[in-house]
Structure 1
Amino acid sequence: MTLAQTKIKNNKNLKTLGFSHLDTAEVVVKLNTLLADYQVFYNKLRNFHWNIEGPEFFELHEEFEKEYNTVKKNIDIVAERIRVFGIKPNFTLQKTLELSKIKETEKNLSAIEMVREVLKDFEIIHDDILSAIGASLETGDVATEQMLTDFIRDIEKRNWMFTSYLK
């Protein structure tokens, strides 16, 4: 039995539609944090894609593109999930940078440093997702939990792949 199934079985107060703002406040806070981190991560990945050099160019150029396309898709999914709760994800660049735990890189990095940076950012996003899963399960929001479980499954696989690359 999955965590969500256990939560459903034990929680008789599950709601499917009509969550109140109070019901979803913590979920929205966690999703906004994830959204900010994803947006900064997306920008970093684009820069890595454009600026990779050296013998790893062809391989990592393609991998960074795959990664930023996934992140771009996830950004939209998270923002739309926030809208489901009646909140507008109104993010300026300044607000995004203030909220994000992922920081931009301003110096030129080697290919290996870029991969290490991606792995460091995966950890931050992974923690964001786990935190948001906890909030969604507390609320009885199984749809957000499922969305986030899909994200975590993907990031764990990509983490394994990038970690293997460094060996």
Structure 2
Amino acid sequence: MRWTAEERKRITASLNELLANYQVHYQKLRNYHWNVTGGDFFDVHEKLELQYTEAQANIDLIAERIRVFRSRPLSTYAEYLKESTLKEDPTVPESDQMMKNLLADYVTLVDRLCETVDLSLELSDSGTERMAKGFIEQLEKHHWMVSSFTK
């Protein structure tokens, strides 16, 4: 590969932080999916399943991208919680609050992804850039849809 050891270290640090954030977000989606109740149960339950399935696929892509750089993806919850800027939600809020919490996660994830894009552009890492931009598009769509739900 064309990157120096220091460049690989920088990009994998960024990707591992992104991986940690996605893992915390994924678990929050699972928590909400399992525990949502109320009149909008069916709609929310189904949408959360779609989102956690997508997040799970993204997690795998991030981890595999880290391996491209001959580095080790974080793989324990202790590591995820230490590196993540997102926080777990041990509560079971009402569905409207769940959606508000997810909106905040989307903003954080997009911010982190934009930082990853900036770094990938600096390092001429088009693979990471392309992947991150695809995730940004997904999250922007989720933000729009969930924002519409909470109005």
What TM-score does the superposition give when structure 1 sets the normalisation length? 0.87
Q: What is the RMSD computed on CA atoms of the aligned residues?
A: 1.0
Change (3 A) 1:71 1:150: same
Matched, 1:130 2:114: yes
Which 10-residue stretch deviates more, 71-80 or 95-104? 95-104
Q: What residue number does 2:12 align with?
A: 28
Q: Which aligned runs of 4 or more in structure 1 are off by greater than 4 angstroms?
A: none
Q: What residue number does 1:53 align with?
A: 37
Which 10-residue stretch deviates more, 52-61 or 95-104? 95-104
The DSSP-based 3-state class of the residue aligned with 2:91 is coil
Matched, 1:73 2:57: yes
Hey, what's the Cα distance between the residues in 2 that align with 1:152 and 1:90?
21
Larger Rg: 1
Q: Pick from 75, 79, 90 the counterpart of residue 106 of structure 1.
A: 90
Hey, what's the Cα distance between the residues in 1 that align with 2:77 and 2:95?
27
Q: What is the one-letter code of the residue matched to 2:86?
A: I
Q: What is the one-letter code of the residue matched to 1:80?
A: E
Q: Which has the higher contact order (CA 8 A, sep 6+)?
A: 1
The DSSP-based 3-state class of the residue aligned with 1:86 is coil
Q: Assess if the C-alpha contact under 8 Å between 1:21 and 1:85 holds in 2.
A: no
Q: Pick from 66, 77, 94 the counterpart of residue 82 of structure 1.
A: 66
Q: Assess if the C-alpha contact under 8 Å between 2:16 and 2:74 holds in 1.
A: no
Q: What is the one-letter code of the residue matched to 2:102?
A: V
What TM-score does the superposition give when structure 2 sets the normalisation length? 0.96
Which ranges of structure 2 fall in alignment gaps of 5 or more residues? Answer: none
Identity of aligned residues (%): 38
CA shift for structure 1 position 90: 3.5
Which ranges of structure 1 fall in alignment gaps of 5 or more residues? Answer: 1-16
Deviation readout 1:116-165 (Å, 9 max, x if unpaired): 01101111111110010011000011111011111101110111000011
Q: Pick from 6, 26, 30 the counterpart of residue 42 of structure 1.
A: 26
